[in-house]
Amino acid sequence: MATRKKGVKKGVQFTVMVVGASGTGRTTFVNTLCETGVLEHKVNDNPETAHVEEGIRIKPVNIELEEDGVRIALTIVDTPGFGDNIDNEFAFQEILGYLEREYDHVLGEESRIKRNPRFRDNRVHALLYFIPPTGHALREIDIELMRRLSPRVNVIPVIGKADSLTPQELKGFKKRVMEDIEHYDIPVYNFPYDIEEDDEDTIADNSELRALMPFAIVGSEDEIEIDGQLVRARIYPWGVVEVDNPKHSDFSRLRSALLNTHLTELKSLTHDVLYETYRTEKLSRTVHSEQDSSMLPEDLASQGMRLKEEQLRREEEKLREIELKVSREIQEKREALLAKEESLRNLESRLAAQGLNADF
Protein backbone atom coordinates (compact mmCIF):
# COMPACT_ATOMS: atom_id res chain seq x y z
CA MET A 1 0.00 0.00 0.00
CA ALA A 2 1.51 3.32 -1.01
CA THR A 3 1.87 5.93 1.67
CA ARG A 4 1.59 9.54 0.79
CA LYS A 5 5.02 11.12 0.54
CA LYS A 6 3.98 14.10 2.54
CA GLY A 7 6.69 16.65 3.25
CA VAL A 8 9.70 14.49 2.46
CA LYS A 9 11.91 16.83 4.44
CA LYS A 10 9.96 16.59 7.69
CA GLY A 11 8.75 13.05 7.38
CA VAL A 12 5.34 11.62 8.22
CA GLN A 13 4.30 12.32 11.78
CA PHE A 14 3.05 9.33 13.77
CA THR A 15 2.41 8.94 17.50
CA VAL A 16 2.27 5.59 19.27
CA MET A 17 1.57 5.13 22.96
CA VAL A 18 2.73 1.99 24.77
CA VAL A 19 0.89 0.89 27.90
CA GLY A 20 1.54 -2.07 30.13
CA ALA A 21 2.73 -3.06 33.60
CA SER A 22 6.47 -3.16 34.25
CA GLY A 23 8.07 -6.29 33.04
CA THR A 24 5.71 -6.92 30.13
CA GLY A 25 8.40 -6.02 27.59
CA ARG A 26 7.37 -2.48 26.68
CA THR A 27 10.74 -0.81 26.80
CA THR A 28 12.48 -3.61 24.94
CA PHE A 29 9.76 -3.59 22.30
CA VAL A 30 10.17 0.12 21.64
CA ASN A 31 13.94 -0.19 21.46
CA THR A 32 13.61 -3.15 19.12
CA LEU A 33 11.11 -1.28 16.97
CA CYS A 34 13.33 1.73 16.58
CA GLU A 35 16.47 -0.38 16.32
CA THR A 36 18.12 1.84 18.86
CA GLY A 37 17.99 2.54 22.59
CA VAL A 38 15.15 5.06 22.65
CA LEU A 39 13.79 4.30 26.09
CA GLU A 40 15.75 3.56 29.21
CA HIS A 41 15.13 0.42 31.15
CA LYS A 42 13.73 0.73 34.63
CA VAL A 43 16.36 1.35 37.24
CA ASN A 44 15.63 -0.57 40.44
CA ASP A 45 18.46 0.57 42.56
CA ASN A 46 16.96 1.26 45.92
CA PRO A 47 15.48 -1.75 47.71
CA GLU A 48 14.52 0.47 50.62
CA THR A 49 11.97 2.30 48.53
CA ALA A 50 10.65 -0.68 46.61
CA HIS A 51 7.41 -0.58 48.58
CA VAL A 52 6.68 3.02 47.61
CA GLU A 53 3.94 3.27 45.03
CA GLU A 54 5.08 5.55 42.28
CA GLY A 55 2.46 7.16 40.15
CA ILE A 56 2.26 6.78 36.40
CA ARG A 57 4.49 9.04 34.33
CA ILE A 58 3.61 9.87 30.74
CA LYS A 59 6.69 10.65 28.68
CA PRO A 60 6.75 11.35 24.93
CA VAL A 61 10.00 10.77 23.03
CA ASN A 62 10.69 11.78 19.43
CA ILE A 63 12.80 9.85 16.95
CA GLU A 64 13.32 9.71 13.21
CA LEU A 65 12.93 6.46 11.34
CA GLU A 66 13.14 5.44 7.77
CA GLU A 67 10.78 2.73 6.68
CA ASP A 68 10.68 1.52 3.10
CA GLY A 69 12.07 4.77 1.81
CA VAL A 70 9.63 6.90 3.78
CA ARG A 71 10.84 9.07 6.61
CA ILE A 72 8.73 8.85 9.71
CA ALA A 73 8.84 11.36 12.54
CA LEU A 74 7.81 8.90 15.23
CA THR A 75 6.72 9.93 18.69
CA ILE A 76 6.64 7.20 21.31
CA VAL A 77 4.65 7.93 24.44
CA ASP A 78 5.74 5.67 27.26
CA THR A 79 3.67 5.14 30.41
CA PRO A 80 5.94 3.70 33.08
CA GLY A 81 4.20 3.04 36.37
CA PHE A 82 0.92 1.81 34.93
CA GLY A 83 -0.40 -1.25 36.73
CA ASP A 84 2.42 -1.26 39.29
CA ASN A 85 0.46 0.21 42.15
CA ILE A 86 -1.82 -1.63 44.49
CA ASP A 87 -4.68 0.61 43.38
CA ASN A 88 -4.39 1.53 39.73
CA GLU A 89 -7.55 3.54 39.25
CA PHE A 90 -5.65 6.82 39.13
CA ALA A 91 -3.39 5.65 36.32
CA PHE A 92 -6.40 5.15 34.07
CA GLN A 93 -7.53 8.72 34.61
CA GLU A 94 -4.06 10.00 33.84
CA ILE A 95 -3.85 8.26 30.48
CA LEU A 96 -7.37 9.23 29.49
CA GLY A 97 -6.64 12.79 30.57
CA TYR A 98 -3.53 12.89 28.40
CA LEU A 99 -5.40 11.67 25.32
CA GLU A 100 -8.21 14.14 25.84
CA ARG A 101 -5.84 17.03 26.51
CA GLU A 102 -4.19 16.47 23.12
CA TYR A 103 -7.62 16.45 21.50
CA ASP A 104 -8.41 19.68 23.33
CA HIS A 105 -5.25 21.29 21.95
CA VAL A 106 -6.28 20.47 18.42
CA LEU A 107 -9.83 21.60 19.09
CA GLY A 108 -8.57 24.86 20.46
CA GLU A 109 -6.24 25.36 17.54
CA GLU A 110 -8.96 24.67 14.97
CA SER A 111 -11.21 27.24 16.57
CA ARG A 112 -8.63 30.00 16.47
CA ILE A 113 -9.12 32.89 14.10
CA LYS A 114 -5.43 32.97 13.33
CA ARG A 115 -4.05 29.43 13.33
CA ASN A 116 -0.50 28.68 14.25
CA PRO A 117 1.34 27.31 11.20
CA ARG A 118 3.90 25.61 13.42
CA PHE A 119 1.29 23.82 15.47
CA ARG A 120 2.39 20.33 16.48
CA ASP A 121 -0.32 17.69 16.45
CA ASN A 122 0.38 15.31 19.33
CA ARG A 123 -2.73 13.19 19.13
CA VAL A 124 -2.05 9.52 19.70
CA HIS A 125 -2.73 7.44 16.60
CA ALA A 126 -2.28 3.99 18.06
CA LEU A 127 -2.06 2.54 21.56
CA LEU A 128 -0.27 -0.77 22.04
CA TYR A 129 -1.52 -2.49 25.18
CA PHE A 130 0.82 -5.15 26.57
CA ILE A 131 -1.05 -8.11 28.00
CA PRO A 132 1.10 -10.21 30.34
CA PRO A 133 1.49 -13.78 29.07
CA THR A 134 -0.59 -15.50 31.73
CA GLY A 135 -1.82 -18.09 29.26
CA HIS A 136 -5.35 -17.96 30.67
CA ALA A 137 -7.58 -15.04 29.58
CA LEU A 138 -7.98 -11.32 30.16
CA ARG A 139 -7.90 -9.94 33.69
CA GLU A 140 -10.11 -7.17 35.00
CA ILE A 141 -7.39 -4.57 34.61
CA ASP A 142 -6.89 -5.52 30.93
CA ILE A 143 -10.61 -5.39 30.21
CA GLU A 144 -11.08 -2.06 31.99
CA LEU A 145 -8.16 -0.40 30.25
CA MET A 146 -9.10 -1.40 26.75
CA ARG A 147 -12.73 -0.64 27.35
CA ARG A 148 -12.13 2.85 28.73
CA LEU A 149 -9.52 3.93 26.20
CA SER A 150 -10.93 2.53 22.93
CA PRO A 151 -13.40 5.42 22.51
CA ARG A 152 -10.44 7.82 22.39
CA VAL A 153 -7.67 5.96 20.61
CA ASN A 154 -7.03 2.95 18.36
CA VAL A 155 -6.20 0.19 20.84
CA ILE A 156 -4.09 -2.69 19.55
CA PRO A 157 -3.66 -5.51 22.08
CA VAL A 158 -0.32 -7.32 22.08
CA ILE A 159 1.05 -10.15 24.20
CA GLY A 160 4.39 -9.15 25.70
CA LYS A 161 7.19 -11.68 26.39
CA ALA A 162 5.38 -14.19 24.28
CA ASP A 163 8.36 -16.53 24.38
CA SER A 164 7.11 -17.81 27.74
CA LEU A 165 4.29 -19.65 25.98
CA THR A 166 4.56 -22.82 23.94
CA PRO A 167 2.90 -22.71 20.50
CA GLN A 168 -0.14 -24.58 21.80
CA GLU A 169 -0.53 -22.33 24.83
CA LEU A 170 -0.15 -19.26 22.65
CA LYS A 171 -2.87 -20.38 20.29
CA GLY A 172 -5.29 -21.06 23.16
CA PHE A 173 -4.42 -17.77 24.85
CA LYS A 174 -4.94 -15.71 21.69
CA LYS A 175 -8.28 -17.39 21.13
CA ARG A 176 -9.50 -16.73 24.66
CA VAL A 177 -8.34 -13.11 24.59
CA MET A 178 -10.27 -12.46 21.40
CA GLU A 179 -13.29 -14.25 22.86
CA ASP A 180 -13.16 -12.00 25.90
CA ILE A 181 -12.79 -8.90 23.72
CA GLU A 182 -15.90 -9.91 21.86
CA HIS A 183 -17.79 -10.89 25.00
CA TYR A 184 -17.20 -7.54 26.67
CA ASP A 185 -17.79 -5.66 23.40
CA ILE A 186 -14.46 -3.87 23.46
CA PRO A 187 -13.93 -1.91 20.22
CA VAL A 188 -10.24 -2.57 19.63
CA TYR A 189 -8.64 -1.75 16.28
CA ASN A 190 -8.99 -4.93 14.26
CA PHE A 191 -7.81 -4.01 10.76
CA PRO A 192 -11.25 -3.40 9.34
CA TYR A 193 -12.05 -4.18 5.75
CA ASP A 194 -15.11 -4.03 3.57
CA ILE A 195 -15.80 -7.14 1.55
CA GLU A 196 -17.65 -5.19 -1.09
CA GLU A 197 -15.49 -2.13 -1.42
CA ASP A 198 -11.89 -3.14 -0.86
CA ASP A 199 -9.71 -5.01 -3.30
CA GLU A 200 -8.62 -8.61 -2.78
CA ASP A 201 -5.13 -7.82 -1.58
CA THR A 202 -6.38 -5.46 1.12
CA ILE A 203 -8.96 -7.98 2.30
CA ALA A 204 -6.40 -10.79 2.42
CA ASP A 205 -3.86 -8.60 4.19
CA ASN A 206 -6.28 -7.31 6.79
CA SER A 207 -7.88 -10.65 7.55
CA GLU A 208 -4.43 -12.14 7.99
CA LEU A 209 -3.49 -9.44 10.45
CA ARG A 210 -6.80 -9.79 12.22
CA ALA A 211 -6.21 -13.52 12.63
CA LEU A 212 -2.86 -12.82 14.30
CA MET A 213 -4.40 -10.65 16.99
CA PRO A 214 -3.35 -10.18 19.70
CA PHE A 215 0.21 -9.95 18.38
CA ALA A 216 2.70 -12.18 20.17
CA ILE A 217 5.75 -10.02 20.77
CA VAL A 218 9.31 -10.97 21.58
CA GLY A 219 11.80 -8.14 21.72
CA SER A 220 15.55 -8.04 22.11
CA GLU A 221 18.30 -5.48 22.02
CA ASP A 222 21.00 -8.15 21.81
CA GLU A 223 22.35 -9.61 18.62
CA ILE A 224 24.03 -12.93 18.04
CA GLU A 225 25.47 -14.58 15.03
CA ILE A 226 23.42 -17.33 13.41
CA ASP A 227 24.66 -18.81 10.15
CA GLY A 228 27.05 -15.94 9.68
CA GLN A 229 24.35 -13.30 10.06
CA LEU A 230 23.79 -10.94 12.92
CA VAL A 231 20.32 -11.64 14.25
CA ARG A 232 18.38 -10.02 17.08
CA ALA A 233 17.60 -12.78 19.51
CA ARG A 234 17.18 -13.96 23.11
CA ILE A 235 19.52 -16.67 24.30
CA TYR A 236 18.34 -19.37 26.71
CA PRO A 237 20.15 -22.48 27.89
CA TRP A 238 17.71 -24.52 25.87
CA GLY A 239 17.59 -22.52 22.65
CA VAL A 240 17.58 -19.21 20.84
CA VAL A 241 14.49 -17.13 20.07
CA GLU A 242 14.77 -14.96 16.96
CA VAL A 243 12.90 -11.69 17.14
CA ASP A 244 12.40 -11.22 13.41
CA ASN A 245 11.46 -14.83 12.69
CA PRO A 246 7.71 -14.86 12.01
CA LYS A 247 7.49 -18.38 13.41
CA HIS A 248 8.93 -17.24 16.72
CA SER A 249 7.16 -13.91 17.07
CA ASP A 250 4.67 -11.58 15.35
CA PHE A 251 7.03 -8.66 15.82
CA SER A 252 7.91 -8.06 12.17
CA ARG A 253 4.28 -8.28 11.04
CA LEU A 254 3.24 -5.75 13.66
CA ARG A 255 6.08 -3.43 12.77
CA SER A 256 5.25 -3.37 9.10
CA ALA A 257 1.55 -2.87 9.79
CA LEU A 258 2.20 -0.05 12.21
CA LEU A 259 4.89 1.87 10.32
CA ASN A 260 4.15 0.91 6.75
CA THR A 261 0.85 -0.48 5.58
CA HIS A 262 -1.61 0.85 8.15
CA LEU A 263 -0.01 4.04 9.30
CA THR A 264 -2.20 6.29 7.18
CA GLU A 265 -5.35 4.43 8.10
CA LEU A 266 -4.62 4.69 11.81
CA LYS A 267 -4.02 8.41 11.45
CA SER A 268 -7.18 9.01 9.45
CA LEU A 269 -9.31 6.94 11.83
CA THR A 270 -7.95 9.02 14.70
CA HIS A 271 -8.76 12.27 12.96
CA ASP A 272 -11.97 11.44 11.11
CA VAL A 273 -13.69 9.23 13.64
CA LEU A 274 -12.24 9.36 17.16
CA TYR A 275 -11.42 13.05 17.18
CA GLU A 276 -14.74 13.98 15.59
CA THR A 277 -16.63 11.94 18.18
CA TYR A 278 -14.74 13.67 20.96
CA ARG A 279 -15.38 17.05 19.39
CA THR A 280 -19.11 16.45 19.10
CA GLU A 281 -19.35 15.18 22.66
CA LYS A 282 -17.33 18.05 24.04
CA LEU A 283 -19.21 20.78 22.19
CA SER A 284 -22.65 19.42 23.03
CA ARG A 285 -21.54 19.10 26.62
CA THR A 286 -20.75 22.81 26.89
CA VAL A 287 -24.13 23.72 25.40
CA HIS A 288 -26.21 21.72 27.85
CA SER A 289 -24.10 22.00 30.95
CA GLU A 290 -24.23 18.46 32.20
CA GLN A 291 -24.61 17.63 35.84
CA ASP A 292 -21.44 16.56 37.49
CA SER A 293 -21.91 12.87 38.02
CA SER A 294 -18.80 12.31 40.08
CA MET A 295 -19.18 10.19 43.18
CA LEU A 296 -19.47 12.20 46.35
CA PRO A 297 -17.69 10.96 49.43
CA GLU A 298 -19.84 8.95 51.81
CA ASP A 299 -20.86 11.70 54.21
CA LEU A 300 -21.82 14.13 51.53
CA ALA A 301 -23.73 11.39 49.77
CA SER A 302 -25.83 10.51 52.78
CA GLN A 303 -26.30 14.18 53.56
CA GLY A 304 -27.27 14.78 49.95
CA MET A 305 -29.72 11.92 50.20
CA ARG A 306 -31.31 13.38 53.29
CA LEU A 307 -31.58 16.76 51.62
CA LYS A 308 -33.09 15.13 48.60
CA GLU A 309 -35.62 13.35 50.78
CA GLU A 310 -36.52 16.67 52.39
CA GLN A 311 -36.79 18.29 49.03
CA LEU A 312 -38.97 15.50 47.76
CA ARG A 313 -41.29 15.78 50.70
CA ARG A 314 -41.60 19.51 50.22
CA GLU A 315 -42.23 19.13 46.55
CA GLU A 316 -44.84 16.47 47.22
CA GLU A 317 -46.65 18.83 49.55
CA LYS A 318 -46.39 21.64 47.06
CA LEU A 319 -47.79 19.45 44.35
CA ARG A 320 -50.64 18.37 46.56
CA GLU A 321 -51.45 22.01 47.31
CA ILE A 322 -51.31 22.86 43.64
CA GLU A 323 -53.59 19.92 42.95
CA LEU A 324 -56.11 21.14 45.49
CA LYS A 325 -55.87 24.68 44.22
CA VAL A 326 -56.37 23.62 40.66
CA SER A 327 -59.31 21.40 41.48
CA ARG A 328 -60.83 24.24 43.48
CA GLU A 329 -60.35 26.63 40.64
CA ILE A 330 -61.84 24.13 38.26
CA GLN A 331 -64.82 23.81 40.61
CA GLU A 332 -65.25 27.55 40.81
CA LYS A 333 -64.98 28.04 37.12
CA ARG A 334 -67.43 25.25 36.55
CA GLU A 335 -69.88 26.91 38.88
CA ALA A 336 -69.32 30.24 37.21
CA LEU A 337 -69.93 28.58 33.86
CA LEU A 338 -73.12 27.00 35.15
CA ALA A 339 -74.26 30.32 36.52
CA LYS A 340 -73.57 32.01 33.22
CA GLU A 341 -75.35 29.21 31.44
CA GLU A 342 -78.33 29.79 33.69
CA SER A 343 -78.42 33.50 32.99
CA LEU A 344 -78.01 32.83 29.29
CA ARG A 345 -80.89 30.42 29.36
CA ASN A 346 -82.97 33.01 31.17
CA LEU A 347 -82.07 35.58 28.58
CA GLU A 348 -82.89 33.11 25.86
CA SER A 349 -86.27 32.35 27.33
CA ARG A 350 -86.94 36.02 27.84
CA LEU A 351 -85.91 36.70 24.29
CA ALA A 352 -88.09 33.92 23.10
CA ALA A 353 -90.96 35.35 25.14
CA GLN A 354 -90.26 38.83 23.82
CA GLY A 355 -89.96 37.51 20.35
CA LEU A 356 -93.41 35.98 20.62
CA ASN A 357 -94.80 39.25 21.88
CA ALA A 358 -93.05 41.11 19.10
CA ASP A 359 -94.74 39.00 16.56
CA PHE A 360 -98.16 40.31 17.64
Give the residue, chosen from 57, 101, 333, 345, that forms a contact with other proteins under the rule CB under 8 A. Answer: 333
Reduced to 3 states (helix: H, G, I; strand: E, B; else coil), residue 34 is coil
Interaction between residue 324 and other proteins (CB under 8 A):
no
For residue 116, report the phi and psi dihedrals to the nearest 5 degrees.
Answer: -80, 115
Interaction between residue 163 and other proteins (CB under 8 A):
yes
Q: Calculate the alpha carbon distances from 72 to 3, 262, 266, 276 in Å.
A: 11, 13, 14, 25
Size of the site for other proteins (CB under 8 A): 76
Interaction between residue 51 and other proteins (CB under 8 A):
yes
Give the residue, chosen from 1, 8, 344, 352, that forms a contact with other proteins under the rule CB under 8 A. Answer: 344
> Minimum distance from CB of 20 to other proteins (Å)?
11
> Minimum distance from CB of 121 to other proteins (Å)?
31
Separation CA 140–CA 182 (nearest Å) = 15
**Residue nearer to other proteins on the CB measure, 35 or 341:** 341
**Residue nearer to other proteins on the CB measure, 42 or 59:** 42
> Which 185-224 positions form the footprint of other proteins (CB under 8 A)?
none
Give the residue, chosen from 57, 115, 171, 183, that forms a contact with other proteins under the rule CB under 8 A. Answer: 183
Give the residue, chosen from 152, 232, 234, 262, that forms a contact with other proteins under the rule CB under 8 A. Answer: 234
> Minimum distance from CB of 152 to other proteins (Å)?
18
**Residue nearer to other proteins on the CB measure, 11 or 20:** 20
DSSP 146-205: HHHHTTTS-EEEEETTGGGS-HHHHHHHHHHHHHHHHHTT---------TTTS-HHHHHH
Interaction between residue 180 and other proteins (CB under 8 A):
yes
Reduced to 3 states (helix: H, G, I; strand: E, B; else coil), residue 75 is strand
Rg (CA), the chain: 33
**Packing angle of the helix pair 89-111, 276-287 (nearest 10 deg):** 90
For residue 243, report the phi and psi dihedrals to the nearest 5 degrees.
Answer: -65, -45
Taking a C-beta distance cutoff of 8 angstroms, is the pair 145, 130 a contact?
Answer: no
Separation CA 255–CA 261 (nearest Å) = 9
> Which 92-111 positions form the footprint of other proteins (CB under 8 A)?
92
> Minimum distance from CB of 214 to other proteins (Å)?
15
Interaction between residue 22 and other proteins (CB under 8 A):
yes
Task: Report which of 19, 2, 268, 259 is spatially closest to residue 123, judged by C-alpha positions.
Answer: 268
Interaction between residue 113 and other proteins (CB under 8 A):
no
> Minimum distance from CB of 257 to other proteins (Å)?
22
**Residue nearer to other proteins on the CB measure, 63 or 137:** 137
> Minimum distance from CB of 43 to other proteins (Å)?
9
Taking a C-beta distance cutoff of 8 angstroms, is the pair 241, 233 a contact?
Answer: yes
Interaction between residue 288 and other proteins (CB under 8 A):
no
Give the residue, chosen from 104, 276, 315, 321, that forms a contact with other proteins under the rule CB under 8 A. Answer: 315
Reduced to 3 states (helix: H, G, I; strand: E, B; else coil), residue 59 is strand
Give the residue, chosen from 300, 347, 352, 353, that forms a contact with other proteins under the rule CB under 8 A. Answer: 347
Note every long-range contact of 119-122, with CB atoms under 8 Å and residues 24 or more positions apart, other chains counting: 121/13, 122/15, 122/60, 122/75
> Minimum distance from CB of 355 to other proteins (Å)?
9
Give the residue, chosen from 322, 342, 345, 349, that forms a contact with other proteins under the rule CB under 8 A. Answer: 322
Separation CA 79–CA 250 (nearest Å) = 23
> Minimum distance from CB of 282 to other proteins (Å)?
25
**Residue nearer to other proteins on the CB measure, 226 or 283:** 226
Give the residue, chosen from 123, 152, 248, 267, that forms a contact with other proteins under the rule CB under 8 A. Answer: 248
Q: Is the peptide bond before 214 cis (omega within 30 degrees of 0)?
A: yes
Interaction between residue 338 and other proteins (CB under 8 A):
no
Contact range with other proteins by CB under 8 A, out of 117-125, 203-211, 260-268, 351-359: 351-359
